[in-house]
Amino acid sequence: MRLVETEAYRGPEDPGSHGYRGMTARTEVMFGPPGRLYVYFTYGMHWCANVVCGPPGVCSAVLLRAGEPTGGIDSMRARRPRITDDRLLAAGPGRLTQAMAIGKPHNGASLLRGSPLWCASDEVTASLREGEVAQTVRVGMSAGRGDELPWRFVIPGHPYASRRR
């Protein structure tokens, strides 16, 4: 999976962050160490996944909003059988986790080299230059809860990015 859209969340500085009011049993993973997944259930129906990126004790994470399948597409199609357009397999945070079979058991899982879910850059993402990734306000935030923060990062016009409503 090649990420094409993400959103950043910054704990006590960010009213949209699950860690805004401090550490709880649910948000403990968000407070580090970095390189792990913070997975949570939302709207009673979808799992979402964030990459923890702050040092231990600092709540900071990046939501995985959308991805372009680069392998394992048949497995993703099997997990999302109603989807007939491959561009929609992982176009949104709930769709991405379903396509990747990420759920509650992955909360706290390592993404570092050597782990089953390790992340790496590829030749496409490594070649992106300044200006090729747009920075916008986040998607689906309530007014006054960080909706004005320009912490969404997306490859403009990418066919696998989620669609703004």
- Cis check for the bond before 116: say yes or no (omega within 30 of 0): no
- Give me the mean pLDDT over the 45-60 stretch: 95
pLDDT band (50, 70, 90) for residue 145: confident
pLDDT band (50, 70, 90) for residue 126: low
Question: What is the model's pLDDT at position 100?
Answer: 95
Report strand pairing: 46-52 vs 2-9. unpaired
Q: Indicate the average pLDDT of the chain.
A: 90
> What domains sit in the chain, N to C, each tagged with a CATH number?
2-121 (3.10.300.10)
- Model pTM? 0.91
- Give me the mean pLDDT over the 128-137 stretch: 82
Helix runs in 48-92, H state only: 73-79
